[in-house]
Amino acid sequence: MPASAPNRYAFADALKRGLYEAIFRRRDIREFISDPIPDDVIARVLIAAHHAASVGFTQPWDFILVRSVEQRRRVKEVFAAEHARNAAQFSGER
């Protein structure tokens, strides 16, 4: 294909700007608010997640929505225990 020919797979400039802005603004969050997330927001996030890239578009994931504070606490405890168990495999600084 000649260098001057348009790439039919190229994203529009506005989409590219949005992608790079999302990448550059991304931050890890270590403190969370306890406000409930509206159902329409959860639905949009799940729709986007289901359209994320996967090998052969197999989408080999399941999502579980946990609304119970007690259940979330129990999940956190399991995570903390597994994190500590896995951390014991390593030595030195993080």
Residue 6 lies in a domain: no
Residue 28 lies in a domain: yes
The answer to whether the beta carbons of residues 49 and 63 sit under 8 Å apart is yes
Residue 8 lies in a domain: no
Number of domains in the chain: 1
The string of pLDDT tens digits covering residues 4-60 is 667 888 889 999 999 999 999 988 888 878 888 999 999 999 998 888 887 777 777
| pTM score | 0.56
How far is residue 11 from each of residues 16, 18, 22, 40, 66, measured CA to CA in Å? 6, 11, 15, 27, 36
Residue 94 lies in a domain: no
Residue 19 belongs to domain spanning: 13-87
> Would you state the structure tokens that stand for residue 70, as one six-digit string?
């007690």
The string of pLDDT tens digits covering residues 57-94 is 777 778 888 989 899 899 999 999 999 999 888 887 76
Residue 29 lies in a domain: yes
